[in-house]
Homo-oligomer: A and B are copies of this chain.
Amino acid sequence: MNVWGNRLKLSIFGESHGRAVGIVVDGLPPGEPIDMGAVELDMARRAPGRDDLSTARREPDTVEILSGLDSEGGTTGAPICGVIRNTDARSSDYGAQLRPGHADWTALMKFGGRADMRGGGHFSGRLTAPLVFAGSMAKQILLRRGVEIYGRVVSVGRVSAGCASPSIEEFRETAGLEFPASAEASDAMKESIREARGAGDSVGGVVEAAVFGLPGGLGEPFFASMESETASLLFSVPAVKGVEFGDGFRLASMRGSEANDPLYVEDGRILARSNHNGGVLGGITNGMPLIVRAAIKPTASIALEQESVDPASMEGTTVRVRGRHDPCIAPRVVPVVEACLALSSLDAMLAARQIRAQERER
């Protein structure tokens, strides 16, 4: 269903080529100022049409707030509904075809042809816009408590940025860039994207993100581990096909003596000398940075001719996906992954009462 969260409740709605997409966010603490300028910056990082590497569809992606903020822009404690109108949808670009790699086929199975699948409909990547809005508010609330969240592209196609243990300084550096990747790798990444576009094709990538300053003790042993809740949100993002924490799949080839992070004391606090476990042990955060990587599959919409089926005649056909598409969505997914981390971190902090969701009369 369209609802996620424990102490936060997110309820998402909308279709790519309908009137609007939006989200209801309940459970934010009252009295939190929301800087809509900062929200718009995050929206812009996700928005299409930014540069020559992304789709030509341009959407202002302005969020209209229908409820939950007072006249000065502070949270009231009531649910916040944010709506983003669709303005530049060209529905004639789409027919009733089944585009390989897309949800057209499964939407047909699930909704029996009733789904409004123009532009991907409710399955569209456009649904991540309201997620970024919600996550951006969460990031502001977290930042005030010393929790910082950053994401970046660590690989595009076969170009990888290397995998040193990432520091907060490194993340901060790439955070503001139009193409959020390390300086050394970004040219090769961009080149790889341009090549794919030139070939009428697309290419995948990996997004890495981290939460710095997250308190220890968050999460549950069963079934709501910090990893479970975060992965559940990330796997809702269209195109995410893998999620790993800390060294993730590389841990599978390690020995225990390498993978176990040794403990020591500094300034009266227990810390770990390495962070192979990515800030989570037994489903619970340990106060080290939470490190997550998400595998982003190549954009399914490509101009190349592909084998498909016409669902009306149930006969073979070929499709070329027209419309405007990103040859690689990994850069635009960065703020979405940050949003997922912000929402799961804030939910866990609210549950653990690191932040009081609601103030009371004293």
Contacts and interface: CB of A to CB of B under 8 A. Distances in A.
B15 A78 contact: yes
B66 A14 contact: yes
Contact of A263 (B265, B307, B361): B307
Contact of A262 (B231, B265, B306): B306
B263 A309 contact: yes
11 contacts: A13-B68, A14-B67, A19-B67, A30-B114, A31-B112, A78-B121, A100-B263, A103-B221, A157-B252, A216-B360, A242-B251
A10 to B, nearest CB: 7
B30 A11 contact: no
Copies of this chain, tallied across the complex: 4
Contacts of A24: 2, 11, 13, 24
Given A206-B252, A352-B357, 9 more contacts: A2-B222, A9-B11, A20-B81, A31-B114, A77-B115, A120-B282, A236-B283, A252-B297, A264-B309
Contact of A257 (B18, B201, B264): B201
Interface string A54-65: 000000000001
A165 B225 CA distance: 31
Nearest to A230: B235
A238 B245 CA distance: 13
A142 to B, nearest CB: 17
Nearest to A255: B201
- Give the most central of A206, A263, A301: most B CB within 10 Å: A263
